[in-house]
Amino acid sequence: MEGFLLDFNLPTEDLLNISVDVTGIPDFKQRYLSVRNDFMDLLHNIDKAYAKRENLHGRGVKARYSRLITGKRTVRPTQWRFSPYPSRFGNVLTTIRRKWYISLSQNTVVISKTATRNVYLLPFDKAPSLMRDKQELNNEIDDLQMNIRAFERTSDYQRVLKFVREKIGIKFEPAVANIHQVKLSLHPLRLQPKLFEDFLAEKFKNMREEGVKEIKDELERTRRELVERSVDDLQTRLGELMKYLTQVTSLKLTAKEAERLKGKIKNVQSLAESVGVGWCIQRITETDMKLVEAVAKRNKKAIQEASEAVAKEIGLKPSEKPEDTLKRATIALTEKASPRLKALMEEML
């Protein structure tokens, strides 16, 4: 198992936002809501002028309230956070993030998950594909940055600044929005037992045997965990495809849909082979391909045989109805470890 561990940083819509203290609005209690509504209308009209579609939602302004006590006086500062740019600019960044995660799903395997992030392993032979996608996204960011600069020279941008200065009554010079590119760091990783043994022999040759054994056992445990998690990730992806197949076994699967599903199955197998765990899911992907072909041809006998073959590869007893067999197979792949896969990994690791 080998590849690159990824560290990456994506630009977000918040880079377009600015904060303004609006506590100084004249006659604050009487005029606050009126001023806020007028400002949202102004932003919405700018969105309409720059939109690529007509059915727009209204634009909101996030308000943050706090309470400060100085002596006997209570002050309640209010801040607005908003983007002075058309919403379309923020949508570009949302789309860039979505495209990036699609590229990750096509080119990487998740080897660890926490509550806040995934750890991705990029196979060496998939690196050029991910780098091409990264460059394309950075080209889009460059175009966005040019559009931002162009907008800052328009009368619409000046209308936003003028509103804040006159209606809120503050001196206002917003910071220039700079959108950084997709940043990516690659860290080579190779998880091979022989490599660990050679490393230990060289680095700890003077250490007592018990200490070396403890380190070796810990490294081996880590290696096995990462392999198992990568297989779990690939198995879950197959389970998601299986769920879709379960839903369409009684419906017509078009030739185009069948080719799309086959492409996704091939991609999962290609990823597995690239990180060195192709042996673990190869039989499952082969039976999945036969199942797709059977469903596309509406061949009931072939569907029954393919669903039984899928169950056998996962380590399940087939049901009478192929739909029930596939439902159980989906659960086995997405919600718990497949018994057959677990046994295979124990044998091969």
Please report the DSSP string for 120-135 in residue order. EEE-GGGHHHHHHHHH
DSSP, residue by residue, 11-36 = --GGGG-EEEE-TT-TTHHHHHHHHH
Residues 140 and 202 in one domain: no
User: How high is the pLDDT of residue 180?
Assistant: 94
Residues 321 and 216 in one domain: yes
β-strand partners of 183: 9
Residues 177 and 257 in one domain: no
Q: Where are the beta strands (DSSP E) in 263-346?
A: none
Inter-residue contact 47 to 40 (CB < 8 Å): no
CA pair distance 73, 62, nearest whole angstrom: 26
Residues 85 and 30 in one domain: yes
- Distance from the Cα of residue 1 to its chain's centroid: 23
Residue at a domain's end among 137, 152, 185:
185
Question: What pairing do the DSSP bridges indicate for beta strands 2-9 and 118-122?
Answer: antiparallel
Residues 11 and 136 in one domain: yes
Residues 222 and 343 in one domain: yes
Residues 175 and 213 in one domain: no
CA pair distance 348, 319, nearest whole angstrom: 29
Global pTM value: 0.74
Give pLDDT tens digits along the chain (349 positions): 678 889 999 999 999 998 888 877 777 777 878 888 898 899 999 988 888 755 555 555 665 544 444 445 545 667 888 899 999 999 999 999 999 999 999 999 888 877 788 889 898 899 999 999 999 999 999 999 999 999 999 999 999 999 988 888 777 787 788 999 999 998 887 766 555 566 556 666 655 565 667 766 776 777 777 777 887 888 788 888 778 777 766 667 788 888 888 898 898 888 888 877 777 778 888 888 888 888 888 888 888 888 888 888 878 888 888 888 888 888 877 765 555 555 544 554 4
> How buried is residue 306: exposed, middle or buried, by Cβ count under 10 Å (0-12/13-18/19+)?
buried
Residues 121 and 218 in one domain: no
Residue at a domain's end among 135, 162, 185:
185
Total domains in the chain come to 2
User: How high is the pLDDT of residue 63?
Assistant: 57
Residues 155 and 256 in one domain: no
| Start-to-end Cα distance in the chain | 11
> How buried is residue 115: exposed, middle or buried, by Cβ count under 10 Å (0-12/13-18/19+)?
exposed
User: Cβ–Cβ contacts within 10 Å for residue 44, how many?
Assistant: 16
β-strand partners of 63: 80
Residue at a domain's end among 185, 220, 238:
185
Q: Which helix (H) or strand (E) holds 81?
A: strand 78-82
Residues 209 and 130 in one domain: no
CA pair distance 220, 41, nearest whole angstrom: 61
For residue 277, give both structure tokens: 């765990």
User: How high is the pLDDT of residue 210?
Assistant: 57
CA pair distance 121, 186, nearest whole angstrom: 10
Residues 172 and 197 in one domain: no
Place of tokens 């940083």: 9
- Distance from the Cα of residue 23 to its chain's centroid: 39
Domain hosting residue 283, numbered range: 193-348
- Distance from the Cα of residue 335 to its chain's centroid: 20
Residues 118 and 218 in one domain: no
